[in-house]
Amino acid sequence: MNVLILGSGGREHAFAWKIAKSSSCNQLFIAPGNAGTAQVGTNVNIGVNDFASIKEFILAENIELVLVGPEDPLVNGIYSFFKEDEQLKNISLIGPSKEGAQLEGSKEFAKEFMFRHNIPTAKYQAFTKDNLADGYTFLESLEAPYVLKADGLAAGKGVLILNDLQEAKDELKAMVADAKFGTASSTVVIEEFLDGIELSVFVITDGDSYKILPSAKDYKRIGEGDTGLNTGGMGAISPVPFADRFYIEKVEREIIKPTVEGLKKDNIEYKGFIFIGLINVKGEPKVIEYNVRMGDPETEVVIPRIKSDLLNLLKGIGDGTFSEKDLNITDEAATTVMLVSGGYPEAYEKGKEISGIEQVEESIVFHAGTKNDNGTIKTNGGRVIALTSFGETMEDALEKSFSSAEKISFEGKYYRKDIGFDL
């Protein structure tokens, strides 16, 4: 079959790398893609939110399956755009409906969903500028630190964790009354602080049955020891050592099953990935967020650990055979280390020539922000390249990722040398 992947990051390169290996894959296209995806498929210069051009391309190239990488087109309703279109309605789109995407698009929606279906999560209340005073009172009833979350999508910046009550009140006002994060913060969710170690579990569902993908942990801060500004993710490991079979069974019972069943009960169409961000509070998993897509860079460790044919699994979502498909995972550990541009996540320069990629032998080189400029690979984003390695243990795999990281050069290159330090 002909496949189209939407997106341009390391996540999409990892998906493309895997799908290109499938015997069912005829032609593979990535829109807009990067210099890495062009090595395993054909890049198409169409933006992920340009639904009209996506439609035209799908019809012209006989695409049968579309895999949506980032959340934006999902929150913008690409699923219903397909289902309501006579020519597109039979094409398999991997991703939730617009309503399902609200699990990520609205923190308040996600919280209401979790409470409705008894899914463990932090206590919360939601506020707007109309009940700001109640927000202050709620903050006074909590203990520090205070967790404030912009309801809508805020490019990963919408969560504030503050130690001082007055500062929390000031920030709440800035968010709801002064549009600190634009309309994304006209509603703010205030929630109880959960103290514990974070991990993520990934699920793929056809809306009826589900399969659990490998767990992973990412490293969001720019600085070693988890310090400094938040980034999209500086590295990841899979599996998460403390998330053994018994722990995952608990997560399945208390969180995954009620989530998939909750979607069904609420009549929310969902055929795609669910990324569940958890905090492990003294052995008890609690949900801190849902994402309606795979994580980046988590995909760069989760997908390579899948031994089964991923496209075959995705095909099953479209043709009703998903529940019969096998999902085999390697026991090996996978790690990824992200090389980023100097200055990221603040201002950084693009267009730096990248060298040494061909010298990497022990890792898979997943491109994130790169472009091919007349045969020269150049940096084209904050996160540039993810180096994924396997090992019997996480330590073995990390050694390979770090050694590969030294082989690649570009001006301003930076990476965290302590991925996995806390495990």
x/- letters, 252..291, toward ligand AMP (CB under 6 A): -------------------------x----------xx--
Residue 291 interacts with ligand GLY (CB under 6 A): yes or no: yes
Best CA proximity match to 291, nearest among 305, 306, 309, 277: 277
| Enclosing H/E stretch for 391 | strand 383-391
Distance of closest approach, residue 71 Cβ to ligand GLY, in angstroms: 8
How far is it, in rounded angstroms, from Cα 337 to Cα 364?
11
Q: Which amino acid is at 352?
A: K
The window from 52-60, 263-271, 290-298, 357-365 that contacts ligand GLY (CB under 6 A) reads 290-298
- Position among 159, 281, 327, 329 found at the interface with ligand AMP (CB under 6 A): 159
Residue 147 interacts with ligand AMP (CB under 6 A): yes or no: yes
How far is it, in rounded angstroms, from Cα 100 to Cα 199?
22
Q: Which two tokens stand for residue 8?
A: 């341009």
Residue 298 contact, options ligand AMP, ligand GLY, none, Cβ 5-8 Å cut-off depending on partner type = ligand GLY
Best CA proximity match to 356, nearest among 413, 301, 415, 300: 413
x/- letters, 235..274, toward ligand GLY (CB under 6 A): ----------------------------------------
Residue 194 contact, options ligand GLY, ligand AMP, none, Cβ 5-8 Å cut-off depending on partner type = ligand AMP
Q: Across the strands, what pairs with 287?
A: 121, 278
Give just the sign of the alpha carbon dihedral 159, 32, 97, 120: negative
- Position among 96, 258, 295, 382 found at the interface with ligand GLY (CB under 6 A): 295
**Cβ contact 42:30 at 8 Å:** yes
SS3 134: helix
Residue 414 contact, options ligand GLY, ligand AMP, none, Cβ 5-8 Å cut-off depending on partner type = none
Distance of closest approach, residue 277 Cβ to ligand GLY, in angstroms: 8
Residue 226 interacts with ligand AMP (CB under 6 A): yes or no: no
Residue 95 interacts with ligand GLY (CB under 6 A): yes or no: no
C-beta closer to ligand GLY: residue 92 or 231: 231
Q: Which two tokens stand for residue 347?
A: 């201002």
Cα–Cα separations (whole angstroms), residue 183 to 104, 106, 143, 157: 15, 12, 28, 14
DSSP state, residue 184: G
**Cβ contact 419:398 at 8 Å:** yes
The window from 188-196, 331-339, 341-349, 375-383 that contacts ligand AMP (CB under 6 A) reads 188-196
Residue 120 interacts with ligand AMP (CB under 6 A): yes or no: no
- Position among 198, 252, 254, 418 found at the interface with ligand AMP (CB under 6 A): 198
Residue 190 interacts with ligand AMP (CB under 6 A): yes or no: no
Q: Across the strands, what pairs with 96?
A: 270
Best CA proximity match to 1, nearest among 27, 21, 19, 20: 27
Q: Which amino acid is at 51?
A: F
Site for ligand GLY in 208-237 (CB under 6 A): 218, 232-233
Residues contributing to the site for ligand GLY (CB under 6 A): 218, 232-233, 291, 295-296, 298
Residues contributing to the site for ligand AMP (CB under 6 A): 122, 147, 149, 159, 161, 191, 193-194, 198, 277, 288-289
